[in-house]
Amino acid sequence: MVIGIAMFVVGFLVVGVVVVVALTSWGRDEAATEARLHAPATHTVAYVVPEGQDPAVLISALPHAGFVSVTDSTGGTERLLVECEESDRGRVRSILEQVEHRSIDGSRLPAGHVSFEDER
C-alpha cells in the first residue's frame, strides 16, 4: 500500500515536471518565432484581421502551405504577420481568401478580397 502511494506521488511529480518542461520549451519556440518575424531583416506581410473574426482559423491554414505566422496586436489593431518572400504574396493572399471566414460566435462572415497593410 505504501509502495503504491509512493509510486503514485513520484509518477505525479514526474508528469508535472515533464509538462512544465514541455510548456517552457513551447513558449521559448513561440517567442523565438515572434522575434524573428518582427526583425527588420525578415520579409513579412501584415494582414489586418477583420473585427470579430477569429485569427486562429487563418493561422491554422498557413502552415499547411509552408508559411509561418503570428498574431500581433500592437496599436490596438489585430494583425497577422506572415513570413513570406515578395514572390509568395499572391499565394498567401489566395490561402487567406479561401479560408472560410467565421466570426468568433460562429456566424459566417462575407469573404472579401484580402489586402495587406502595405497595400492600403
The pTM score is 0.70
Contact present, 67 and 82 (Cβ < 8 Å): yes
The CATH classification number of 43-120 equals 3.30.70
Length of the chain: 120
Average confidence (pLDDT) over 11-23: 94
Per-residue model confidence as pLDDT tens digits over 51-81? 777 788 888 889 988 899 998 887 788 889 9
- Range from 9-13, 43-47, 64-68 that averages highest in pLDDT: 9-13
Report how far apart, in Å, the C-alpha atoms of 67 and of each of 19, 29, 33, 79, 103 are: 28, 16, 12, 15, 23
Average confidence (pLDDT) over 78-105: 83
